Amino acid sequence: MKSLKPASFWLLVTIFASLTVAVAPSQAGSAPRVVADIAPVHSLASRVMDGVGSPDLLLQAGASPHDYSMKPSEARKLDKADIVVWTGPALTPWLQDAIKTLAPDAVLVSFSALEGVTLLPFRADARFEPHDDDTEGHEAGQGIDPHIWLDPQNAAVLVAELASVLSERDPDNAEHYRSNAQATLDDLSELQSEIAETVAPLRSRPYLVFHDAYHYFEARFDIPASGAVSVSDGVKPSAQRVRELQQLIEDQGVVCVFAEPQFEPRLLQRLTEGTAIRSGVLDPIGAAIEPGKDHYLQLLRAMASSLSDCLNP
């Protein structure tokens, strides 16, 4: 699997470097009321708004974004929103109607629909094939892997869009949003280099993930998984899938199988029992990480660290 080209990322850095002036936020008006759907997206919005205001987080840590029922307090956040930032219908299909009903006049920033965001296909098979990083023909919400935030270059596209939307809505603080966005782009660039160095020695070490949630991270850092234990995060693997994975483990010499925090490790015992395969934990949304502006960087660093801990000899 080849690394994705970083041209768009560096273009964003260049553009913001030319536009940014570090100034104190204006006190002329209040910041727009922003609601973000999940913690990683909320973190990026928090960074752009830092020093001016704070976005609201809709789904709290540990909540599954795929199938969720909003509380009245969360519905009120949407009802009061000036700007709603959501990942897209592939991740939270239930949220689309809620936004239309509760926040019809809010500016909607749909992460997966932004120009420049890389979209990758969802992989349902137990064994991942090398061509699975093909991006052609995959439109938002139609067979894509929704975990788009796990590519820091996708995150950079969202940061640039948020700075633009916030600046238009709140021109008194426009330069501050741009300054924050530039600082975040710089941090994302450093993070990408840091993680690339961390995972470079791991690329020849086959591993399995619990479900197909890491395609963007794998592709960006050229560290492809061999397959997934389950077809989704809410479905236990069938007996046929387990047999297929056992053959895959034997064929490729799989080193590690990764669980996720919300699932019992015993689900993997049928695959690892009686073998020397190690086990680790990967978390695509950072359920154990405190929400806020540092959440996103901590999330990706934690993933790189988990991979390194389990895959190193």
Confidence bin at 256 (pLDDT 50/70/90):
very high
Q: Token pair for residue 32?
A: 């727009």
Q: Is the pLDDT confidence value at 88 over 70?
A: yes
CB 182 within 8 A of CB 20: yes
pLDDT of residue 240: 87
Residue 177's SS3 state is helix
**Which residues in 58-206 belong to E strands, given as ranges?**
83-86, 107-110
Residues 76 and 170 in one domain: yes
Cα radius of gyration (the chain): 20
The C-alpha atoms of residue 40 and residue 285 are separated, in whole angstroms, by 7
Q: Is the pLDDT confidence value at 1 over 90?
A: no
Q: Which residue type is seen at 276? A: A
Report the CATH number at residue 297.
Answer: 3.40.50.1980
pLDDT of residue 39: 95
Please give the residue range of the domain that contains residue 139.
7-196
CB 145 within 8 A of CB 123: yes
Residues 139 and 26 in one domain: yes
Residues 70 and 186 in one domain: yes
**Which position has the higher pLDDT, 93 or 265?**
93
Residue 206 lies in a domain: yes
Residues 130 and 229 in one domain: no
What integer is the mean pLDDT of 14-24? Answer: 41
Query: What is the average pLDDT score of the chain?
Result: 85
CB 219 within 8 A of CB 133: yes
**Which residues in the chain belong to E strands, given as ranges?**
34-36, 56-57, 83-86, 107-110, 207-209, 227-228, 256-259, 278-281
pLDDT of residue 234: 60
pLDDT of residue 185: 98
CB 147 within 8 A of CB 214: yes
Residues 70 and 145 in one domain: yes
Whole-structure pTM value: 0.86
Residues 216 and 170 in one domain: no
Q: Token pair for residue 110?
A: 């749909």
Residues 16 and 159 in one domain: yes
Residues 228 and 294 in one domain: yes
Q: Is the pLDDT confidence value at 15 over 50?
A: no
Strands 107-110 and 227-228: unpaired
The helix/strand count (H/E) of the chain reads as 10, 8
Q: Is the pLDDT confidence value at 118 over 60?
A: yes
Q: Is the pLDDT confidence value at 308 over 50?
A: yes
Count: domains in the chain: 2
Q: What is the pLDDT of residues 21-58, one digit of tens each?
A: 333 343 445 899 999 999 999 999 999 999 999 999 99
Residues 51 and 187 in one domain: yes
Q: Which of 152-156, 209-213, 236-240 has the lowest mean pLDDT?
A: 236-240
- Helix, strand, coil in percent for the chain, rounding step 5: 45, 10, 45
Q: What is the pLDDT of residues 192-226, one digit of tens each?
A: 999 999 999 999 999 999 889 999 999 999 999 99
Residue where a domain terminates, one of 196, 227, 253:
196
Give the whole-number percent of the chain exceeding pLDDT 90: 62
φ, ψ for residue 310 (rounded to 5)?
-90, -30
Residue where a domain terminates, one of 163, 196, 229:
196
Residue where a domain terminates, one of 170, 196, 222:
196
What integer is the mean pLDDT of 124-133? Answer: 72
Q: Which of 123-137, 169-183, 229-243, 287-301 has the lowest mean pLDDT?
A: 123-137
CB 256 within 8 A of CB 277: yes
pLDDT of residue 264: 60
